[in-house]
Amino acid sequence: MEPLPLEGIRVIEFSHMVMGPSCGMILADLGAEVIKIEPRGPGDKTRYLPGSGSGLFPAFNRNKHSVQLDIAEAADRDRVLDLIDSADVLLENFRVGKMESIGFGYEELSARNPGLIYCSLKGFLSGPYGNRAALDEVVQMLGGLAYMTGPPGQPLRAGASVNDIMGGMFGVIGIQSALRVRETTGRGKLINSALFENNAFLVGTHMAQAQISGEPPRPMPTRQATWAVYDIFRDAEDNQVFVAAVSDGQWRDLCDEFGLTGLAADPDMFTNQGRVDQRDRIHRELQAALSQLSLAEIEEKCTRRGLPVAPVNTPGDLTSDPHLVASGALAHTGLPGGTSVDVPLLPLTFDGSRLGLRGDVPEPGRHNSHYRDGPTVPTGPPND
């Protein structure tokens, strides 16, 4: 079997919540040996979050090795430093100044291990906001994403931790780039990735739109239409379904498939702008046609003609989604205590193959005996 892309790379992960763990998990999925440092006792507090936080630890901690070490204790501190000395990468996402205050900043650790790539994942990059506390929701409000997501006057955070996860992804991009540079220079680098700047990157198209038009962009629920058909409709049983037609050819196919002969023959509808100008009329007639059909019939008709279509699913629906299941996109991941969850693998294939599950989410300290309790730091991962 071919080695995984990052096989042989050792990563020390000091992290909690989402941004750091997602960065570490991507590296682990790519084959790196990721050693997650957790406090003694119950371990990372993220393991025990209730409600909408209960999925965070299961989703972002597979394929890792858990070691419990208290860096306030001299013996544990020495072992952590030994692990760092043996590592290629360190990543952390604690509050600003935390790692430096305990002697684990980049300058101190780089002096010990000049080849170390140190990835610091924070709320903000350097600047006036640099020392502020941040959460995904904070930067969505500050960075205009919540404004664009909710209806006017009702800012709404996106329904996933998009900045945390993408911030972790940019951390991986930086780490991989630094590994490439190290091949030539022999030296590591300090990599910084941040939530706010990631959010600004996400809304860059809206920033450009505001400058081009000279007007504030409208929130997405009331945005100026680009196409006449790019919306949610309802089937005969009142199920919601998204249908779109974004080209002249798709418009003709839509009219043909759903019997909209009057619209198809109207010369005012021959151009995209003409259709946008009569969007309300088109919606009325299309909705009347869709109201006679089941969701399955609408999907079949649209798919047959290459028209974009999608039922409005919940995240829970995805565990039985026929495409995800058949394509092997879900990892049936064991959790401490004997339960399991199905969570997505990385949305990548290498020569048609997924980067799969090699290790379930470990219980706290699962790998203490390998990394912590021996007389020396091992040179490779445990066998399990």
Under DSSP, the state recorded for 275 is H
Task: Determine the 3-state secondary structure of 330 from DSSP.
Answer: strand
From the candidates 44, 164, 253, 360, which is the catalytic residue?
164
At residue 181, what are phi and psi to the nearest 5 degrees?
-65, -40
Amino acid identity of residue 123, one-letter, is G
Under DSSP, the state recorded for 267 is G
- Is residue 164 part of the annotated active site? The answer reads yes
Q: Helix axis angle, 195-202 relative to 162-185, nearest 10°?
A: 110
Which position has the token pair 């780089």? 110
| Rounded Cα–Cα distance for residues 67 and 372 (Å) | 7
Q: State the alpha helices, DSSP H only, in 317-383.
A: 322-326, 368-371
Helix (H) or strand (E) holding 360: none
Helix (H) or strand (E) holding 334: strand 330-334
How many other C-beta atoms are found inside a 10 Å radius of the C-beta of residue 317? Answer: 10
How many other C-beta atoms are found inside a 10 Å radius of the C-beta of residue 312? Answer: 12
- In order of 244, 250, 254, 273, the CA distances from 306 in angstroms are 10, 8, 10, 22
Residues paired with 349 in a beta bridge: 354
Task: Determine the 3-state secondary structure of 86 from DSSP.
Answer: coil
Q: How many CA atoms lie within 13 A of 337 on its CB side?
A: 7
Active-site residue set: 164
